[in-house]
Amino acid sequence: MKACVGNHSFFPSKGFCMAACMAFNQTGLVGATSGNSVFCHLYHAGAAIGSTANANLHCPHASPSGDGACGTKCENYCQINSKTCTGSNSLYADHATCMKFCETLPVGTNVSDVAGNNLDCRIYHAYAASASANPTFHCPHASHNGGGACGGLCDTYCHVATTYCTGANQLFANVGACMTQCAALKVDGAFNATSGDSIQCRIYHAGAAHATGNAGLHCPHANITSGGNTCGTASTTGSTTGSTTGAATTSSSTGATTTANAFTVVLSFVTLIGFLLI
């Protein structure tokens, strides 16, 4: 808090710093200058004191992300959220799963980011879940889909869909084509959804194409127009569903009305003939 200030600041308060620090890996060697441990973060925080040059070099390493010196960003991301996003707010089944999904996310270049589709933003929300005692708010933002805070949902979806569903499993020609179609997707899925017609489900499966090494299984589920019968079906997905269903309903309704009108005319005619005979 004293060495990394101004443009180098990454904690809004001591409480946030304490929350991040308690989630760091607590094992390691005192005085360590590298590796994913609290001791490395502590070393670089101290080394940042004294000059702007020192702060420029050491503050990123002292940050919760470690910036590649005190562990990789993925190591810190998975270490922190395993301590702060637990129970119903849990993001991943285990550390190995987290690390594989983490590989699908843009790394980012600013360790102070609290928004944007990158790891730095997700790391912030992972420790903010503890610092603010509000995991139900922050853990969705720390998730692989970013919860609409760490990048827009379509930004995240189109990144993973165009990066990991390629070749025989290609879903889109490019990011622009994906973004155009993405606007029709439903955004009300749970942050950890793996099924159901939502963009959150599709983001999971596009990421799982890489995380599980099985694009042939997961990319069809990430498809916008069908959802591969896991993230929706061709009959329930997107805006096409509404117009198709509506057209069918209108046609059926019109047919029923026409039949009813014809029956009414015949009945009236028979009644009139009977009246005249009497």
Q: Residues 6 or more apart from 236 whose CB is under 8 A from it?
A: 197, 227
Q: Which residue from 194, 242, 244, 192 is spatially nearest to 221, judged by alpha carbons?
A: 194
What's the CA angle centered on 214, arms 90 and 219, to 5 degrees?
Answer: 85
Q: What is the mean pLDDT of residues 109-116?
A: 91
- Return the structure tokens found at 60: 């990123």
Express each pLDDT in 229-274 by its tens digit.
999 876 555 543 333 223 222 233 334 333 344 434 333 433 433 4
Express each pLDDT in 14-70 by its tens digit.
999 999 999 999 999 999 999 999 999 999 999 999 999 999 999 999 999 999 999
What's the predicted TM-score (pTM) here?
0.81
| pLDDT at res. 256 | 38
| pLDDT at res. 236 | 58
Task: State the angle between helix axes of 199-211 and 95-102 in degrees (0 to 180), rounded to the nearest 10.
Answer: 100
Q: Which residue from 129, 4, 105 is spatially nearest to 63, judged by alpha carbons?
A: 4
Q: What is the mean pLDDT of residues 187-193?
A: 94
| pLDDT at res. 237 | 58
For residues 230 and 239, give the distance between their C-alpha atoms in angstroms, rounded to a whole number. 18
